[in-house]
């Protein structure tokens, strides 16, 4: 296996789910915590040194077999350090050699009645860091998915405010042969135009320092989906004097088969608490310990 | 056709020809450009604010800050953020739809080849993940196709029919093919077999009218920006003279820059004719302004609103 690659296979034997494969190569590490039986199976995706260095490439493949449920977590935010070859990363990221960009690739397939809850901590890109994240999910029509993908503005404590050089995130969700969602977000500093006032990435995203995208679909999340939809429909916005500290939106996709929720918050913890509150119905599916680990 | 893949000089070409400086067949193309940039064109864009109304309502235009935020500055900021994200996410679809339609119109195979355009339309649907933008995009896209078949086709008076019978030249044949193609697309939309998204329909429309790819891309971004400015006038955030000022001094450099920056982007279904797959991570469509997505999706929550998006 290549450096940074890993593979998880979860199978259900009777009522017991067990990892028939859990393999990984440095700098990737996978840990499966011991949990009380009311919890689903879980894996922590960990990187040595608590972060990814410029050029690191993580490639994880996950197979969840019939009827099994897997929760994927991280220990603290995924820190993306500045590119080793700092000088090469100019404002024109298209000129950056692809192998210099820190990349995480995740490939997930979920069989009949299976479920994956991908609930990592947010990605935090440090100043001048460049990061690509490419995630593909292939679901059986009766499988369920909760996919959380979020990013913060950097290390606030040292004044970083959307100061990385490039953040690219792609999420593809396929249900059988149909593409339910293809979400691609690219955040990078814009080149200033001579005749226009300069507009930085931080200004475009202000006053928020954390953006989250949540994609959900499948039978296990129908309750959560309809309660979110109802909550959203009840909102009424009157003309505001200044932006709220948290802003969210809900859009149904695939004729109601799933949804995309986006959240922006002035603080990461505001977003985390909001998610924990809105996704509380997942506690019964994931189990109380895992729910607390994800949102606590 | 010689200028179709002109590597540079796109903007000079656009401006000089629209100023009627040229001679040759460009007269006809300039005339089409004038028609397409008419703000009275019935495309439904006057009910779309592309998230601007929601942006204002949610306090991003706030004048209660101290010092109060200048409305012209706030408008330029929104224009930049919105246009950049739209260019990066929608222009690849204009490009690929234009190329796909063009290829279809220049071959002599039957019209069942519209599947390339349908695939693009499907892809745009799965990449446009907020319901308000999706809705606005569909209604404007369908309006463009109707505009083509009702507003750009040759009037079928008796005399015209007679003339048509006499002169079967290649231009007329091309027009017939384009007409049949657009009619087929409209039928598929009516049957709910495809969506009719704006960037895809724009690519098809401009290809049917024989506009070059560069002009199509440039004009699409220009119209998006102009429609935002019309919306800000209707919202009374800036006056009509200020909007005109911005159109000339802020939108021009922005549209020029963005159309140049995004003209070589493709969707995963398109390509630059070299047969190589596009590297989506570096040259594919992407949303670049997540705040705009949230605000656009919150449009319907506004207690009072005058736009549909």
DSSP line for B222-289: HHHHHHHHHHHHHTTSS-HHHHHHHIIIIIHHHHHHHHHHHTT---TT---SSSPPP-HHHHS--B--
Model pLDDT, residue B110: 62
Report d(CA B27, CA B21) in Å as an integer: 9
pLDDT at residue B38 tops 90: no
Mean pLDDT of A99-110: 92
pLDDT of A208 > 90? The answer is yes
Residue B130 within a domain:
yes
Mean pLDDT, chain B, integer = 86
Q: And the tokens for B61?
A: 């235009």
pLDDT in tens, A49-71: 778 988 899 999 999 999 999 99
Residue A112 has pLDDT above 80, yes or no: yes
Residues in B 269-308 with any Cβ partner in A closer than 8 A: 279-291, 293-295, 297-298, 301-303
List chain A residues with CB under 8 Å of B298. Answer: 235, 237, 247, 249
* pLDDT at residue A294 greater than cutoff 80: yes
Question: Measuring CA to CA, which residue among B308, B281, B235, B200 is closest to residue B78?
Answer: B235
Q: What is the pLDDT, as a whole number, of residue A82? A: 85
Q: Which residues of B touch A168 (CB under 8 A)?
A: 281, 286
pLDDT band at B134 (very low <50, low <70, confident <90, very high): very high
> Quick one: which of B83, B57, B44, B123 has its CA closest to B218?
B83
| 3-state secondary structure (DSSP) of residue B64 | coil
Per-residue pLDDT at B131: 97
Nearest CB to B131 within list A182, A187, A252: A252
CA pair distance B186, B235, nearest whole angstrom: 33
Q: Is the pLDDT of residue A89 over 60?
A: no
For the segment B130-149, the average pLDDT, to the nearest whole number, is 95
Tens-digit pLDDT profile for residues B235-273: 999 999 999 999 999 999 999 999 999 999 999 998 655
The whole-angstrom distance between B111's CA and the closest CA on chain A is: 25
User: What pLDDT, on the 0 to 100 scale, is given for residue A88?
Assistant: 42
Closest CA to B283 of A176, A93, A177: A93
Q: Is the pLDDT of residue A220 over 60?
A: yes
| Tokens 């989250």, located at residue | A212
pLDDT of residue B7: 37
Domains of chain B: total = 1
Q: Which CATH number does the domain housing residue B133 bear? A: 1.10.4190.10
Whether chain B has a CB inside 8 Å of the CB on A230: the answer is no
Instruction: Read off the tokens for B111.
Output: 């019209």
Tell me the ipTM for this assembly: 0.94
Predicted confidence (pLDDT) per residue in A244-266, tens digit: 999 999 999 999 999 999 999 99
Sheet containing A130-139: give its strands across: A16-24, A5-13, A57-64, A102-110, A130-139, A166-175, A178-188
Q: What is the mean pLDDT of residues A187-209?
A: 91
Within-domain flag for B136: yes
pLDDT exceeds cutoff 60 at B297: yes
Domain span at residue B95 reads 41-63+70-161+171-266+284-301
Q: Which of A86-100, B11-25, B65-79, B187-201 holds the top average pLDDT?
A: B187-201
Please check the confidence at residue B3 and state whether its pLDDT lies above 70.
Answer: no
Interface membership of A100 toward B (CB under 8 Å): no
DSSP state of B151: I
What pLDDT does residue B65 have?
Answer: 59
Pick the range with the lowest mean pLDDT from A44-48, B12-16, B275-279. B12-16
Which residue in A165, A95, A171 sits closest to A129, CA to CA?
A165
Q: Is B27 a residue whose pLDDT tops 80?
A: no
Stretch A105-132: mean pLDDT? 96
B34: in domain: no
Q: Locate the domains of chain A by residue range.
A: 4-83+97-295
CB contact under 8 A, A247 and B290: no
User: pTM, whole model, 2 decimals?
Assistant: 0.91
Contact between B250 and A253 using a beta-carbon 8 Å cutoff: no
Distance CA A213, CA A249 (A): 10
pLDDT recorded at residue B59: 94
B97 alpha-carbon distance from chain centroid: 11
**Per-residue model confidence (pLDDT) at position B11:** 45
pLDDT of residue A85: 52
Contact B93, B285 (CB under 8 A): yes
Among A92, A100, A158, A153, smallest CA distance to A131 is for A100
CA geometry: angle at A248 spanning A243 and A252, to 5°?
Answer: 145
Give pLDDT, residue A80. Answer: 93
In order of A5, A18, A144, A295, the CA distances from A41 in angstroms are 21, 8, 15, 17
Residue at token pair 């994880």: A60
Average pLDDT over residues A273-290: 96
pLDDT, averaged across chain A: 92
The verdict on A202 touching B (C-beta cutoff 8 Å) is no
Q: For residue B178, give the H/E element and its range.
A: helix B170-190
Q: How many CB atoms lie within 10 A of CB B73?
A: 11
* Residue B306 domain-assigned (yes or no): no
Angle at A204 between CA A203 and CA A207, to 5 degrees: 65
Put simply, whether A59 touches B (Cβ < 8 Å) is no
Q: Which of A207-216, A242-251, B55-64, B97-106 has the lowest mean pLDDT?
A: B55-64
Higher local confidence (pLDDT), A32 or A89: A32
pLDDT attached to residue B241: 97
């Amino acid at each position: 296996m290549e450096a940074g690659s890993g593979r998880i296979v979860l199978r259900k034997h009777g009522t017991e789910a067990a990892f028939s494969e859990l393999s990984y190569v440095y700098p990737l590490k996978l840990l499966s915590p011991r949990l009380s039986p009311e919890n689903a199976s879980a894996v922590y995706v960990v990187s040595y040194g608590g972060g990814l260095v410029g050029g690191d490439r993580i490639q994880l493949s996950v197979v969840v077999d019939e009827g099994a449920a897997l929760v994927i977590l991280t220990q603290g935010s995924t820190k993306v350090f500045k590119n080793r070859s700092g000088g090469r990363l100019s404002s024109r990221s298209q000129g950056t050699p692809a192998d210099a960009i820190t990349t995480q690739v995740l490939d997930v397939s979920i069989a009949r009645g299976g479920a994956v809850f991908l609930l990592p901590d947010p990605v935090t890109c440090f100043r001048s860091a460049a990061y690509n994240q490419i995630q593909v999910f292939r679901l059986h029509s009766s499988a369920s998915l909760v996919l959380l993908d979020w990013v913060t503005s950097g290390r606030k404590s040292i004044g970083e405010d959307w100061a990385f050089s490039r953040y690219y995130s792609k999420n593809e969700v396929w249900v059988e042969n149909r593409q339910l969602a293809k979400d691609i977000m690219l955040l990078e500093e814009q080149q200033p135009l001579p005749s226009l006032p300069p507009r930085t990435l931080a200004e475009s995203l202000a006053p928020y320092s954390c953006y989250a995208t949540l994609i959900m679909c499948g039978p296990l999340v129908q309750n959560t989906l309809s309660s979110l939809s109802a909550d959203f429909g009840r909102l009424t916005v009157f003309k505001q004097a200044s932006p709220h500290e948290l802003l969210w939106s809900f859009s149904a996709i695939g004729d109601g088969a799933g949804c995309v929720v986006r959240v922006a918050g002035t603080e990461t913890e505001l977003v985390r608490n909001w998610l924990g509150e809105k996704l509380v119905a997942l506690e019964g599916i994931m189990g109380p310990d895992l729910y607390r680990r994800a949102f606590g | 056709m010689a200028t179709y893949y002109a590597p540079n000089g796109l903007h000079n070409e656009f401006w000089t020809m629209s100023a009627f400086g040229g001679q040759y067949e460009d007269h006809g193309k300039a005339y089409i450009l004038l028609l397409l940039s008419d703000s009275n064109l019935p495309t439904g864009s006057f009910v779309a604010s592309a998230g601007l109304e929601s942006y204002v309502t949610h306090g991003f235009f706030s004048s209660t800050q101290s010092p109060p935020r200048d409305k012209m500055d706030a408008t330029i900021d929104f224009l930049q953020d919105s246009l950049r994200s739209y260019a990066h996410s929608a222009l690849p679809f204009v490009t690929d739809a234009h190329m796909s339609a063009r290829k279809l119109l220049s071959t002599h195979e039957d019209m069942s080849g519209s599947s390339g355009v349908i695939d693009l339309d499907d892809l745009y649907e799965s990449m446009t993940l907020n319901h308000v933008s999706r809705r606005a995009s569909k209604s404007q896209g369908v309006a463009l196709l109707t505009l083509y078949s009702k507003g750009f086709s040759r009037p079928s008076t008796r005399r015209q029919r007679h003339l048509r019978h006499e002169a079967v030249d290649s231009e007329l044949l091309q027009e017939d093919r384009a007409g049949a193609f657009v009619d087929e697309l409209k039928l598929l939309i009516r049957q709910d077999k495809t969506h009719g998204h704006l960037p895809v329909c724009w690519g098809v429309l401009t290809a049917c009218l024989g506009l070059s790819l560069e002009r199509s891309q440039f004009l699409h971004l220009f119209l998006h920006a102009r429609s935002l400015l019309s919306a800000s006038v209707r919202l009374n955030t800036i006056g009509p003279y200020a909007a005109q000022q911005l159109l000339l001094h802020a939108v021009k450099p922005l549209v020029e820059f963005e159309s140049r920056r995004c003209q070589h982007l493709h969707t995963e279904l398109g390509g630059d004719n070299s047969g190589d797959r596009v590297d989506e991570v570096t040259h594919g469509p992407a949303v670049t302004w997540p705040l705009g997505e949230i605000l656009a999706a919150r449009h319907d929550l506004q207690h009072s609103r005058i736009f549909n998006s």
